[in-house]
Amino acid sequence: MSQKETIHLRDLMPGVLSSMDAIKDSFGYFETHESQQVDRASVEAVMQELTDRLDNNFPYFHPQYAAQMLKPPHPVAMAAYMATMMINPNNHSIDGSRATTEMEREVLAQLREMFGYPAEGLGHLTWSGTTANLEALWISREINPGKAVAHSKDSHYTHSRMAEVLNIPSIGIATEPDGRMSLEALERELQTGKIGVVVATLGTTGLGAVDPLADIIPLARRYGARVHVDTAYGGFFTLIPDELDAETYRHFAAIKDSDSVVVDPHKHGLQPYGCGAVLFPTLDIGKFYKHDSPYTYFASTELHFGEIQLECSRAGASAAALWATLKVFPLTREGLGAVIAPGRRAARNWWNLIEESEVLMAYQKPELDIITYLPKAKSMSQLDEISHKLFVMAADTSRPQQTHLATYVTKQRNLEDRGIHLEWDSPQARIMRSVLMKPEQESLIPEMHWHVEQWTKRAMGLPSGLDG
Ligand SMILES: *Cc1c(COP(=O)(O)O)cnc(C)c1O
């Protein structure tokens, strides 16, 4: 096996820039128009101001940023994106993106295989999970017109919003205490005959809960409803069955029987923002996309992505970045799976520590890499106050010492469902939530947990290991 090493963007860029310049030069030199010429010193000043202003951010790239769903793209993705951006292909049409349309077809084939979809079918990359979900819901509306979208109450808010855009009703289905969609509540809605599509979320954005897809599919089919899988955040956990509970994996394995699926490579796929994907297992839905526009320039008879997507212009650079990344980190257990697994273990290990803590308790057992927990408080108002203090205290120190946590708002009902009973002096309270999506976080957990316990004690006014 070859030796592995850390690679930086600056290592890759010189070679990439000269190769791309050589391609451009091969068409002959031309002078840049004077309207686009610039004063070098003032551009350098702008760049300096830019980087100064970018200092005003939380350290999303750092393992001690254990808050929201944020992480940097891999340098391979960045270098591929920048190389491609230098010619800026548009994956709307083959003519506008010859090489990157081919790359997109290749990555789609890999995504289809990961989910167990047939090799033949429709789908494409998108700018986002939102547009990808919109497209899947639109196709469902065309197939089951006039019917509603059913999604769990914990699903991403995009589903009710996109149902509004599509002018179809949406119905929130209750969740069980483990955060998964209730099958009984779903069946009651299906019995009304009004549901056209059920959205199963495999990895909710808030809690990382996995809806029971393997059971939703036969249920929905019995009532003639389609099943759309929103696994924008969770999709790549398909690669690590050994790290998931058998019950969780059973639902990932059922994606192959769904009618559409959405995954966001810009979440767990090491990509810069602007990379979602929607996939359909069949070709017959192609008829819904028919349009006849005088602006397009389809010179080839092969299918252009512009003919099978809602969006028009779309970055070829995004396809190139994902293509290059998957060459280096293929969609296997040892490839991208090895990047996903440590976060999953980090969440499980932290949960074990929290279960034994005197001052913290778990809100919900993590299924993927999101952990939710709370300080042991007496009342709702005290819970909210301690959570907020903890959140502030953890980050209120010098940069190398900072830990960035996030809070999550929950209600009395959700706490009661999880067997947590407080004095209900307020209808809602913040608890703690961390997305552990950076593999470096696995080894940090024991230390981070110790600190969080001490900050919690301090926020509670108890003696802590930080005193003295
Ligand atoms: C992030 C997310 C979305 C929205 O995707 P964007 O790429 O942010 O537009 C939808 N559904 C789920 C489950 C998500 O995690």
> Strand 428-435 to strand 370-375: parallel, antiparallel, or no bridges (unpaired)?
antiparallel
CA distance 305 to 400: 46
Domain count across the chain:
2
How confident is residue 293, by pLDDT bands cut at 50, 70 and 90? Answer: low
3-state secondary structure of 449: helix
Angstrom distances, CA of residue 396 to CA of 328, 401, 429 = 38, 9, 22
Report the range of poorest mean pLDDT among 246-255, 279-288, 359-368, 435-444. 279-288
Q: Work out which ligand 1 atom sits closest to the CA atom of 264.
A: 7
Are 312 and 347 contained in the same domain?
A: no
Give residue-wise pLDDT tens across range 451-462. Answer: 999 999 999 999
Out of 69, 155, 233, mutate this one to test ligand 1's pocket (max ligand atoms within 8 Å of CB): namely: 233
Ligand 1 center to residue 26 CA distance, Å? Answer: 42
Closest listed residue to residue 253, CA positions, set 212, 283, 222, 221: 212
Q: Please say if the pLDDT value at position 331 is more than 80.
A: yes
Take atom 5 of ligand 1 and give the residue whose Cα is closest: 129
What tokens were used for 437? 């999506």
Closest listed residue to residue 19, CA positions, set 98, 80, 83: 83
How many CB atoms within 10 Å of residue 75?
A: 19
Domain membership flag for residue 153: yes
Query: What's the pLDDT score for residue 297?
Result: 54
pLDDT more than 70, % of the chain: 97
Q: Please say if the pLDDT value at position 295 is more than 80.
A: no
Of 328, 353, 383, the one marking the end of a domain is 328
Query: What's the pLDDT score for residue 294?
Result: 61
Of 275, 299, 328, the one marking the end of a domain is 328
Are 322 and 423 contained in the same domain?
A: no
Give residue-wise pLDDT tens across range 171-220. Answer: 999 999 999 999 999 999 999 999 999 999 999 999 999 999 999 999 99
Give residue-wise pLDDT tens across range 209-239. Answer: 999 999 999 999 999 999 999 999 999 999 9
Q: Please say if the pLDDT value at position 292 is more than 80.
A: no
Query: What's the pLDDT score for residue 259?
Result: 98
Q: Domain of residue 446: give its range.
A: 336-459
Q: Is the CB of 268 under 6 A from ligand 1?
A: no
CATH of residue 413's domain is: 3.90.1150.170
Q: Is the CB of 233 under 6 A from ligand 1?
A: yes
Mean pLDDT of the chain: 96
Please, what's the b/e burial string for 404-425 (b: 16 or more CB within 10 A of its CB; e: otherwise)? bbbbbebebebbebbebebeee
The dihedrals phi and psi of 455, each to the nearest 5 degrees, come to: -65, -40
Domain membership flag for residue 302: yes
Q: Work out which ligand 1 atom sits closest to the CA atom of 158.
A: 10
Q: Work out which ligand 1 atom sits closest to the CA atom of 128.
A: 7
Ligand 1 center to residue 76 CA distance, Å? Answer: 23
Of 328, 362, 380, the one marking the end of a domain is 328
Query: What's the pLDDT score for residue 466?
Result: 87
Q: Is the CB of 230 under 6 A from ligand 1?
A: yes
Q: Please say if the pLDDT value at position 298 is more than 60.
A: no
Take atom 3 of ligand 1 and give the residue whose Cα is closest: 129
Query: What's the pLDDT score for residue 217?
Result: 98
Are 218 and 267 contained in the same domain?
A: yes
Mean pLDDT of 358-377: 98
Q: Work out which ligand 1 atom sits closest to the CA atom of 204.
A: 13
User: Which pTM was predicted?
Assistant: 0.96
What tokens were used for 73? 């793209």
CA distance 366 to 385: 24
Out of 159, 264, 278, mutate this one to test ligand 1's pocket (max ligand atoms within 8 Å of CB): namely: 264
Q: Is the CB of 264 under 6 A from ligand 1?
A: yes
Angstrom distances, CA of residue 386 to CA of 318, 377, 408, 427 = 42, 8, 13, 16
What tokens were used for 17? 């820039």
Q: Please say if the pLDDT value at position 378 is more than 80.
A: yes
Closest listed residue to residue 202, CA positions, set 190, 194, 214, 210: 210
Query: What's the pLDDT score for residue 2?
Result: 80
